[in-house]
Structure formats: C-alpha cells, structure tokens
Structure 1
Amino acid sequence: MSLSFVIKEGFSSIGRAKLPAAITVAISFFALVLLGLFSTVSLSFFDVIQELRSRVELEVFLADSVSESQAVDTAGQIKRLRGVKEASYVSKDEAAQTFTHDFGEDIVRILGSNPLPRSIRLKFLPDYTTPESIGRIVPEIKRIAPDSDIRYNQSFLGQIEKNARLFTLLTGGIGILISLATIVLIGYTIRLAMYSRKEKIRTMRLVGATAWFIGTPYVIEGALQGLLSGGLAAGAVYLLFDQLLFRYEPGIYKVLEPSALLIYPSTVLLGLALGILGSTLSVSKYLRAVSKR
C-alpha cells in the first residue's frame, strides 16, 4: 500500500505543479534535442575518422638484394605483428603495372628495365592506426627487414588524430554542459515543488515517515519529466533526420543514418537518467537541510 501511494504521489505531483513542470520539460526537451544532434554528428564524425584510418597504408620497400622468396617470407613475418591487418607483397612487375596505371607511362619501355623495388604494403587495424601505434610497429618491421625503406603519410595520420582529439574535446565539453544544465533545471523544479509542500513534508516527518517515503514521489516526478523530455526530443531528432534530411539532403542522411538509429533510444534513456539524477540530488539536499532545522 505504501509503495502504491508513493508511485501515485509521484504521478500526481506533476499535475499539482503544471507550469513549472511544463517549463522544465520544454527547456529539457530543447537541451536533449541539442544533445541528440551533437551525438549523432559526433558518432558519424568518428565513423568517418575510422574510415580514414582504414585507408592509411605503410609501404616497406625492400632492398634489391632480397629475393622474391625472401620477400614473401618477410611479408608473412610482418603480417604476424600485433595490429597489422594486411601485409600484401608487391612484386617488381606489379609495381610497374601500378606505375603505368597511375601515370599512364610504361616505365620499363622508357628506361629499358624495371627500377622499381619489391615492397610490402601494410594496412592496420583501426585501433592501431595512430601515430603512436605505428611508431611502435616501425622498429619491429626494421628488425625483420633491416635494409628496408619504410614510408607512410605521417603528416596525414597526425592531422587525423589532431582533428579527432579536438572534436572529442569540443563535443564532449558541450555535451557535459548541456547535461549539467538539464540536471540543475530538473533539480530546481523538484526543489520548488518540495518547498511548496514543506508543511506536508514536515507533518510526514513528525509522524515517522522515512526519507525514502517522502522523497521517492519527487524522484518519480523528476524521472517522468526526464522521460517525457527524452521521448519528445527523440521524436524531434527523428523528424529532423528521417523526414527533413532524408527528403532534402539524402547524401548527408546516408552518412548520419547509422548513428541516428542509435541516438533515438539513447536520447530517451538519457532524459530518464538525467531526470532521476537531478531529482535525487535535489531531494537529498532538501531533506538534509530540513533535518538540520
């Protein structure tokens, strides 16, 4: 009976404070829409970063003294290094064909011989395609092939990592600020609701009601406000991406769609979590202050 009363009080609390609750839901809605948009763009950005990382290649140019069988064996040893996804052996003939394809000239016909070296072309697992990881792998490659010449686009890779870190700090900072603002707003609304019913709360404490019994309805109220805000925000993000963007910018929609599908339920759950957290903190603070009087 006590539990049913607590739950009923939580639902009825919103009805007794319609205007503050409506304002909180509205502002939280806009905050969560912003979070949803930022999160979708952020996830899509990191998908692009992973795609760029997957395109990074390192090429090991072997000495002319290395035979073809030795080159194939070297490629096998390098393939077993941690973080290496592919190690493809490129023969002198294949290198000449690539040159002809890229530059439209037959280097063998022009020079009368093939000066291009044998090489091993490497691709890495996404988590290892960073300047630090490749910097650790290069000495291992030199140990296996000491006379080799190792080349990769170090500046391009460094730029990818720099942009990824900058974007992470920017979006993470904005996300934290919006989340904190939502928590404070919901907590403030709950505190106002408790203050308006301070006489009732004082009476309940006098008759022996526990802090859990007094505070839970307000936590439920905050959870409902957060859940409603999250649900409305998820619906708004859906309309923005799956209706407007799909209709007017299908190219951008294809990039953002996989991330958006994850964001819809996450926005609802985030709203619920922020509502519970904000109301719990507010209730705890208010009840501690009351108990000291």
Structure 2
Amino acid sequence: MGDQNKYKSGSIFDMQFITSSISTTLVLLLLGLVVFFVLTAHNLSVYVRENISFSVLISDDMKEANILKLQKKLNQEPFVKQSEYISKKQALKEQTEAMGTDPEEFLGYNPFTASIEIKLHSDYANSDSIAKIEKMIKKNTNIQDVLYRKELIDAVNDNIRNISLVLLALAVVLTFISFALINNTIRLAIYSKRFLIHTMKLVGASWGFIRGPFLRKNVWSGILAAIVADSILMGTAYWAVTYEQELLQVITPEVMLIVCASVLAFGIVITWLCAYFSMNKYLRMKANSLYYI
C-alpha cells in the first residue's frame, strides 16, 4: 500500500502535470495560430498576386498560327505563370453572354480583338515589373496594346505589405506573451517544490541532479501540450479545407507541417528554458529566503 502511494505521488501524470499541460496547450495553440496566420498570409498574398492578369491585345492582321507562336514564346518567359489565348470569336461570345446582347448584330462587325490573357508569378505582380514587361511585349509591332489595372495592383501590394507588417508585429508580441505565460505556469509549479529542492541541496545533491527530474517533467508536459495543440490545429485546418476546397491554395500541407513542427519546437524549448531558469532561481536561494517569496 505504501509503495503504491509512493508511486502515485511520484507519477509524472499528477494533477500539477495535467494542469500545467492544459495551460501550456492553450498558449501553444495561440503560438500555433500566429505561425499559421503568418504562413497563410504569405500564401494568400501569392495567390492573390498570381490571379492578377493583364491583357495583350493582338492586331487583326496577325494570323492565329503566329499568335499561338507568340503565346508559346511568352510562356517561356520567367514572369509568365499561365496564359490563355482568346480569339475574336471567343471574346465576342463571352461579351454577348455578359451583356445579354450581341454587339455584332447592330454594329455589323465584331468589335473585339484577339488577346492573350497573362497571369504572372507573384514576384512580378507589381507595377514596375509589369511596366518593363509591357515595354518588352510592345516591341512586337502586331501588339495593339497591353492593358492592366495599375491602381488595383498597387492597392493589392500596399495592402499585403501593411497586413504583413501587422502580422509580424503581432507575432513578436504574442511570442513574448506566450513565453511569459508558460514561464509563470512553470514557476508556480516549481515554487510548490522549493522546500524539496532545498532539502535535496542539504543532502549534497548536485544542481544538475536536482534539475534533471524537473526539466524532464516539464519537457514532457510541453511535448504533450504540443501534441494536443497540433491535433486541434490540424483538425481545424482539415475541416476548413473540406468545407472549402479553394483553401487548399492557402492552407497547404507544407504550411501545416511547419506549424506543427513549430508548435512542437516551442513546446520543448520554452518549457525547458522556463524550467531551467526557475530551478536556478530556487537553487541559489538561502533557506531563509524561501519563506518570503
């Protein structure tokens, strides 16, 4: 009976361990969300930029075979992510469906020109790069014009830049807050054992020997908390992409892998550091000081 009680009191899964793990889980969940939003914000910015397109209007004198050759040549350029050739007939059909009337019926001719719609890689989706691309494309005399919405592109890039700065600042602040919360949780847990720590010092135990069990216990608490937090984050992400398939463009497996690895790393590193510094604090204390903290 005595052995059982001793085993239970020394078990790693005591109430203090569970309470500490729950508190750490909530904080790691917060940190995981920060990492998640930072990474998905980057993916979202790439997705938005790569869906901004511009139109290359082709002269009516250019034959379709030559237009397709031009498209193939453009596809080989590093800035092109995707291109689509829209013939005069296709443009007329699309506009007729959009307007509900056929312009050719009352004009007597097809007013639209053939074009190549180009979507850029995200690194080139800015006004400066597009201006250079426009200049290069217009060297071809069969190009009537290059159309793009400069104001929209500038607005998108400005908003993405501002959101990124806000998320970065938020990530830094929440990281410090999370560290403080976990540190406080662990310090309270070790505080309750301060007299036991002092007793071990009195019998000649080294600091490393005394720290060992506390460090291991808190690291295991961090690992358990990280696993629970990762499970919640993965479950939420899975539900989100199941509900809306388009989110797979933003919430990629790579993002979730980085998030889960980050949460696990935070769980191990932060709990170890907090336990280490808290233990050193009580190891340095004199016996009299233990009663006044």
> Which residue is equivalent to 1:29?
25
**Would you say the 8 A contact 1:29–1:233 is kept in 2?**
yes
Structure 2, unpaired ranges of 5+: 1-8, 287-293
Structure 1 residue matching 2:109: 3-state secondary structure: coil
Structure 2 residue matching 1:217: 3-state secondary structure: helix
1:181 aligns with 2:171: no
> Which residue is equivalent to 2:56?
60
- What is the distance in 2 between the residues matched to 1:37 and 1:137? 38
> Which residue is equivalent to 1:134?
130
- What is the distance in 1 between the residues matched to 2:97 and 2:64? 23
- What is the distance in 2 between the residues matched to 1:255 and 1:35? 25
Structure 1 residue matching 2:244: 3-state secondary structure: helix
**Would you say the 8 A contact 1:44–1:256 is kept in 2?**
no
1:168 aligns with 2:158: no
Instruction: Point out the more displaced range, 49-58 or 223-232.
Output: 49-58
> Which residue is equivalent to 2:101?
105
- Identify which of 124, 132, 148 aligns with 2:120: 124
**Percentage of matched positions with identical amino acids:** 21
Alignment of 1:218-257 (within 5 A): 218-236=214-232, 253-254=243-244
- What is the distance in 1 between the residues matched to 2:41 and 2:168? 13
- What is the distance in 2 between the residues matched to 1:257 and 1:97? 31
What is the TM-score with the length of structure 1 in the denominator? 0.67
**Cα-to-partner distance string for 1:259-290 (whole Å, 9 max, x where unaligned):** 49888876765454223322443425864996
1:281 aligns with 2:273: yes
The change in CA–CA distance for 1:103 and 1:143 in structure 2 (over 3 A counts) is: same
Structure 2 residue matching 1:82: 3-state secondary structure: coil
The change in CA–CA distance for 1:189 and 1:217 in structure 2 (over 3 A counts) is: farther
Higher helix proportion (structure 1 or 2): 1
- What is the distance in 1 between the residues matched to 2:90 and 2:184? 69
The change in CA–CA distance for 1:34 and 1:280 in structure 2 (over 3 A counts) is: closer
**Would you say the 8 A contact 2:23–2:182 is kept in 1?**
no
Structure 2 residue matching 1:226: 3-state secondary structure: helix
> Which residue is equivalent to 1:155?
151
- What is the distance in 1 between the residues matched to 2:246 and 2:200? 49
Please report the RMSD computed on the Cα atoms of aligned residues, expressed in angstroms. Answer: 4.4
The change in CA–CA distance for 1:31 and 1:255 in structure 2 (over 3 A counts) is: farther
**Cα-to-partner distance string for 1:60-110 (whole Å, 9 max, x where unaligned):** 113455454543433333222112123333333333333323223333332
**Cα-to-partner distance string for 1:204-261 (whole Å, 9 max, x where unaligned):** 8x66x474x554433322222222323343455577677xxx6xxx899436985498
C-alpha displacement of 1:23: 4.8
Structure 1, unpaired ranges of 5+: 1-10
Structure 1 residue matching 2:98: 3-state secondary structure: helix
- What is the distance in 1 between the residues matched to 2:260 and 2:60? 62
> Which residue is equivalent to 1:8?
none
The change in CA–CA distance for 1:220 and 1:255 in structure 2 (over 3 A counts) is: farther
What is the TM-score with the length of structure 2 in the denominator? 0.67
